[in-house]
Amino acid sequence: MNLTPGDVGRLARVGFGRGARVGVIVALAESSELPGERIKPVEGVRRDLPPLPPDWFRLMEFCASYYQTPLGEAMLSALPAALRRVDPPKARAGRAGKPPAAAVAPELTAEQRRALERIAADGPGFHAYLLHGVTGSGKTEVYLRLLERTLAAGRSALLLVPEINLTPQFEARVAGRFPDAGLVCLHSDLAAPARARHWKAALEGRARIVLGTRLAVFTPMPDLGLIVVDEEHDPSFKQQDGMRYSARDLAVFRARDRDIPVVLGSATPSLESWANAAAEPGRPARYTRLTLEERAVAGARLPAVQRIDTRGEKLQEGLSGALLEAIARRLRRGEQSLVFLNRRGYAPVLSCPACGWVSQCPHCSANRVVHLADRRLRCHHCGAEAPIPRACPTCGNQDIHPFGQGTQRIEARLKALFPAARVLRLDRDAARTRARWEALLATVAAGEADILVGTQIMAKGHDFPKLTLVGVVGADASLHAADFRAPERLFQQLLQVGGRAGRAELPGEVLIQTEYPEHPLYRCLARHDFAAFAAMELDARQAAAFPPFSHQAMLKADAPQLAAAVDFLRQARQLAARHAPPTLRVFDPVPMRLTRLARRERAQLLVEAGQRGLLQDFLTRWLEDVRALRAPRDLRWQVDVDPLEV
C-alpha cells in the first residue's frame, strides 16, 4: 500500500506473525537495511481519522522517556481500545437532540473574582495555578468561568477528574452551562465504541470540552487552550499498571508544551504541588497559589470539628455514645448524617477463638472480608471468594466470630439502634454500576435517606444541603502506617469528607473518634488549617529526604516464588553499581507489604536521588542492563517512576 507524508500520525494495520496488529505511523523511511522480502506491507491505513497532531507525539515521547516505557507501548496504551483493534467497530452517530438552554451563572464571590482577575492579568501563555479552596468554596465555578473565556476565544478545554463517581454531577454542571460546546466524556465506564466516538470528536475538533479521568490526558485536541485538574491530590490520577504515569504531572507538561494555562484545584493539595507553589531562596515558585477561604453559599460556614476521646469507652460496633447522640439529634431535626468508615464489607476478618483460624485468602497475604449481606468471604485484592463456613474449617468449632467493623456491620447496627430511620449504605458494593451510583445519589439528594454509611467514594465532589453531621470511625490506623504518605492521605481524606457537612445554610459538625485526640494531625484538622499541617509534614519529609525533597523510582518483580523475585532484584542492584553516582541511593530488595497477590510473590527495590535529572540519567542506562538479564520465564518486572506507595 502506498503511503504519503500526509499519513504520518495515522493508524495503520500491519501483518504480524499469522495475524495483524494496529500501529501508529511515526515517520516514513526512504530505505531499509532489511531485504524487501523481510518487510511486511502495510495492509490498511485509517484515513477516516485525521492524523494525530505533533503535540500528541511530543507528549508520548516525554512519557516514554520519563516513565521508562517503549514508545510504541506508550502510544498504544494512550489510544482507545476500539481503535487498537484490527477490525475496528463501524462508526455510529451519537444521539443528537436539541440542546437545553444554558444555565444562568451564579454571582461570583469576592475571592472567586480575585482568582479570575489574577489569571486574566497573567495573560496568555503557560502558567500553572494551584487553586486552594476550602470545601464548598466554589472552585467549580472558577473552572466554569475559565471555560467560558476559553470557548469565547475559539479554543477548547480539557477537564480531568479523578474518579468516574465524580463525573455525573460535574458533567451535568458543565453541560448545563455550555450546551452547545459539544461536551464529551472519556472514562472507563463507557462502552468501547462510545469512547472511540468521543475521542474522534475531540481529535476532529468537534468536541470543544473533554471531561474525563486520567486516560483523558492523552486525548488529542487541536485547539487546546486550557487544562483543569480537579482534586489534583487524588491518587487515582496515578496509573498503577502498564505505563505508570501521573495524569496530573502530564497535564502540567502538556500545558507547558502547548503554552497554555493549567489549573490544579483542591481543598487539600498534594504536598508536591504545595511545595511547587512556595518560593525558595534563589528560586521563584513554580505554581501561582490562588486561595478561596470562604464557602460560596451565603451563610454557609466550615463545619465545627470535634474529637471524641474513645479511650476507655465501650463502643457499640465501633460507634461511641457521643456520635450516636449526635445522630439522634439530626433525626429529630430532619437532617442527614454520614458515618464514614473506609472499610467495605461486614467485618475485616472471620476468626475461630478455639484454634486461631482466620479467613485468610489462599492467594494473597491478606484476609478475606466478611460480606454478610450475601454470606460470602471475599478478598478485596484478588477477588477470590467462598461461602461463609458454618463451622471452623480447622477444628469444627461452630462458635466463629467476625472481628472488626466494616460498612455493612455499621449499617446493621444503625438500623437496629434507629429502626424508624432510613439508613443507606454508599460504597463500591452498593454501587457496582454507574446507574446504581446515580440512583443512590438521587435518593440522598431527594432527602429520602436519614443516615448514610459511606467509604471514600463519599469524600469529595458531592453536595447535599441537608447533610449536617459527619462521624468518622476507624481513622487512627493510618497514624502509624509504614508508608510516609499515610498521614497526608488521612488528613486529605478527613478534611474532604468533613467538608460534606454544612454546605448550605444549616451548620455542620464533624465528630472524629480517636484514641489520640491530641495528635498534631487532628489538632490541625480541628482548625481546618491545611497550611500548618503541610508545613509540619514537609519539615518531616525534608529531614528524612523524602519527596518532594528527593525523587524516587521503584523496580518491582513478581514470580510464583518470592526467592526468584528477590534474586532478580539482587542482580539488578549489582548492575546498578556500574551507573550509580555517589549521591544516588540504591536500597536492598525487600518483599512488598502485600507480599503475595493473586498467587504471585512480590518484591521491590527502591532508588532515590536528590535531583530528578540525575535519577532519569541513571534509570536510562541501568534499565538497558536490566533488560539484558536472563530472568525466569514466569517472572515479571516493571519500573514505577515517582511511586505513590513505598
CA angle 459, 465, 466 (to 5 degrees): 95
Identify whether residues 556 and 535 lie together within a single domain: no
Identify whether residues 312 and 429 lie together within a single domain: yes
Identify whether residues 533 and 563 lie together within a single domain: no
Q: What is the count of structural domains for the chain?
A: 4
CATH of the domain at 131: 3.40.50.300
Q: What is the dihedral of CA 251, 253, 259, 262, to 10 degrees?
A: 30
Mean pLDDT of the region 420-442? 88
Identify whether residues 533 and 411 lie together within a single domain: yes
Identify whether residues 228 and 149 lie together within a single domain: yes
Residues 101-134: tens digit of each pLDDT: 677 889 999 999 999 999 999 999 999 999 999 9
Q: Could you say which of 292, 326, 361 is where a domain stops?
A: 292
CATH of the domain at 619: 3.30.70.600
Residues 61-74: tens digit of each pLDDT: 999 999 999 999 99
Per-residue pLDDT at 502: 79
Asked whether residue 616 is domain-assigned, the answer is yes
Per-residue pLDDT at 100: 60
Question: All 3 cell numbers of residue 626?
Answer: 536490566
Per-residue pLDDT at 452: 95
Query: Worst-scoring range by mean pLDDT, 198-202, 504-508, 613-617, 630-634?
Result: 504-508
Residues 49-99: tens digit of each pLDDT: 999 999 999 999 999 999 999 999 999 999 998 998 877 666 555 554 555
Identify whether residues 323 and 465 lie together within a single domain: yes
Identify whether residues 496 and 614 lie together within a single domain: no
CA-based max dimension of the chain: 84
Identify whether residues 434 and 522 lie together within a single domain: yes
Cβ-proximal residues to 606 (8 Å cutoff; 6+ apart), any chain: 552, 553, 554, 586, 587, 646
Asked whether residue 134 is domain-assigned, the answer is yes
Per-residue pLDDT at 199: 96
Alpha helices in 212-352 (DSSP H): 247-258, 271-276, 321-333
Identify whether residues 34 and 73 lie together within a single domain: yes
Asked whether residue 11 is domain-assigned, the answer is yes
Asked whether residue 89 is domain-assigned, the answer is no
Is residue 388 within 8 A of residue 375, CB to CB? The reply is yes
CATH of the domain at 17: 3.40.1440.60
Expressed as residue numbers, the domain containing 583 is 551-641
Asked whether residue 90 is domain-assigned, the answer is no
Identify whether residues 330 and 275 lie together within a single domain: no
Per-residue pLDDT at 124: 93
Identify whether residues 275 and 333 lie together within a single domain: no
State pTM to two decimals: 0.93
Identify whether residues 333 and 248 lie together within a single domain: no
Per-residue pLDDT at 463: 76
Say yes or no to pLDDT of 384 above 90.
Answer: yes
Quick check: helix, strand or coil at residue 111? Answer: helix
Residues 289-323: tens digit of each pLDDT: 999 999 888 777 889 999 999 998 999 989 999 99
Per-residue pLDDT at 90: 64
